[in-house]
Amino acid sequence: MEAATADSVQTPASAYKSPYEQWKESQRLDTIRGFHVPNLLDLELKPWLARGTVAGAFINLDGTGGFNDTYVLEIPPQAQVEPWRHIFEETIFILKGHGSTTVWTEEGKKQTFEWNERSYFSLPPNAWHQHFNLSGSEPVRYVAMTSAPRIIDSFKDLDFVFNNPYVFRSKFNSEENYFAEKAGTNLTNFVADVLARNPVPGGVTTGGRGGGTVAQGYNMVNGSVRSHSQAWPSGAHSTFHRHGPGIHVILLQGRGYTRLGPTWEELERVDWGPGSMFVPPEGWWHAHFCTSREHAVFLAIGWGTDKPKPGGKQYDYSKSPQEGGDQYRFSDETPDVHMEFEAELRVNGAVCRMGAVHPHCTFK
Ligand SMILES: [Fe+2]
Ligand SMILES: [Zn+2]
């Protein structure tokens, strides 16, 4: 028998819509695409009637590779979102406003916790949850990251994803105070203020990601999401490194830019400030540059760090690429990278603080 040709077994690419894309269409929201979102607070939203008197937009950035997605949702003063549950994971960062969330499973008691601007938390998969705006005058806006694309496309059955009786007791067994913030550990299911919890950067050193970065990791609801906040000083930048897809970088404070590309010869640039979000594509080299007088802080949410690189090995930041690792040293950079940075600092009236650690620095 003759082998089937691609033409006879595949739907033409132009006609194909994944189950996830079809689900999004049923929600009647726009999907924002591209490389980055300049400001999540400015995004235009449309009524999301399926979830109540709220508004939203889906975001599918190129760097996710379809691995995960984000959406933005706004709740008017004193309004609430309709309760929903879903077997995919969901992580929420509050962009503005004050409110509360009630979480429950059919077999357990309801629990409610309050949040404010810069609060960050995860919903246990398949737990019912409902968000309330507790302000009489200010809207609430949040950005959520979910694994909806992978889950909906894997099962191709919305009833299984959104109307499933299974309780994930390994993640949430209605434990009391489940959402109370825990200090001194990555294992907290709630953070009241990401900015307040992240260490304040001190001097510029070569350790870790370089440039004096200080970070705080989060591993919530015994799920598969990996996230961390990270700060580094004004007048400093990180080393170039790479990782898997779908790590959403959301800027909380400071201004600057990120250089990123598959090779040194093809570095693109994303400029950012508070409210910006971008996703470095899988395996692209990237480094973050803080050019404001204020130090920079971001929250990075994703699964991509745990996804093996092509070939099956894990990303290794203890070695340079010449040794098979995934983080360059400052001495590997071409001089133009740091010269561009210093020129930009001069324009902003800020000074470079990397004299002791960067071979191309002119501020010795
Ligand atoms: Fe990164
Ligand atoms: Zn310098």
Domain boundaries, the chain: 18-168, 194-347
- Ligand closest to CA 363: 2
Summarize the chain as % helix, strand, coil (round to 5).
20, 30, 50
Query: What is the C-alpha separation between 54 and 75, in angstroms, rounded?
Result: 5
- Ligand closest to CA 362: 2
Å from CA of 226 to ligand 1 middle: 12
Residue 121's DSSP bridge partners are: 92, 190
Which residues does 133 contact at the CB level (< 8 Å), separation at least 6?
Answer: 75, 76, 77, 78, 79, 80, 97, 98, 99, 139, 140
CATH 3.40.50.150 for domain 18-168, yes or no, is: no
36-53 mean pLDDT: 97
Å from CA of 306 to ligand 1 middle: 13
67-93 mean pLDDT: 97
pTM for the structure as a whole: 0.95
Residue 1 has pLDDT above 50, yes or no: no
Residue 266 DSSP class:
G
Residue 7 has pLDDT above 70, yes or no: no
- Ligand closest to CA 361: 2
Of 10-14, 305-309, 336-340, the poorest mean pLDDT is in 10-14
Query: What is the C-alpha separation between 230 and 12, in angstroms, rounded?
Result: 43
Query: What is the C-alpha separation between 240 and 243, in angstroms, rounded?
Result: 11
- Ligand closest to CA 344: 2
Write out the H or E segment, with its range, that includes residue 141.
Answer: strand 140-146
**Dihedral sign (CA 150, 154, 156, 162):** negative
Which residues does 112 contact at the CB level (< 8 Å), separation at least 6?
Answer: 100, 101, 102, 103
Answer yes or no: are the C-beta atoms of 302 and 61 closer than 8 Å: no
pLDDT at 131: 98
CATH homologous superfamily for the domain 194-347: Jelly Rolls (2.60.120.10)
Å from CA of 131 to ligand 1 middle: 31
pLDDT-derived band at 18, boundaries 50, 70, 90: very high
How many CB atoms are located within 10 Å of the residue 135 CB? 16
pLDDT at 318: 92
**Per residue in 250-295, pLDDT tens?**
999 999 999 999 998 899 999 999 999 999 999 999 999 999 999 9
CA distances from 181 to 114, 124, 191, 226, 242 (A): 11, 15, 6, 17, 31
Task: Check for a shared fold between 18-168 and 194-347.
Answer: yes
Name the one residue in this structure whose structure tokens are 């499933």. Answer: 164
pLDDT at 235: 96
Strands 268-272 and 256-261: antiparallel
Residue 329 has pLDDT above 80, yes or no: yes
Question: Rounded to an integer, what is the distance from CA 63 to the centroid of its chain?
Answer: 11
**Per residue in 188-230, pLDDT tens?**
999 999 999 999 998 888 777 888 999 999 999 999 998 999 9
Type of residue found at 130: Q
Q: Interior CA angle at 224 toward 67 and 238, to 5°?
A: 75
Taking every pair of Cα atoms in the chain, the longest distance, rounded to a whole number of angstroms, is 73
Å from CA of 247 to ligand 1 middle: 7
pLDDT at 42: 96
To the nearest whole number, what is the mean pLDDT of the chain? Answer: 94
Residue 144 has pLDDT above 60, yes or no: yes
Å from CA of 240 to ligand 2 middle: 16
152-160 mean pLDDT: 97
| Gap between the terminal Cα atoms of the chain | 73
Query: What is the C-alpha separation between 217 and 208, in angstroms, rounded?
Result: 13
pLDDT-derived band at 6, boundaries 50, 70, 90: low
- Ligand closest to CA 364: 2
pLDDT at 206: 76
CA distances from 341 to 80, 210, 329 (A): 45, 15, 17
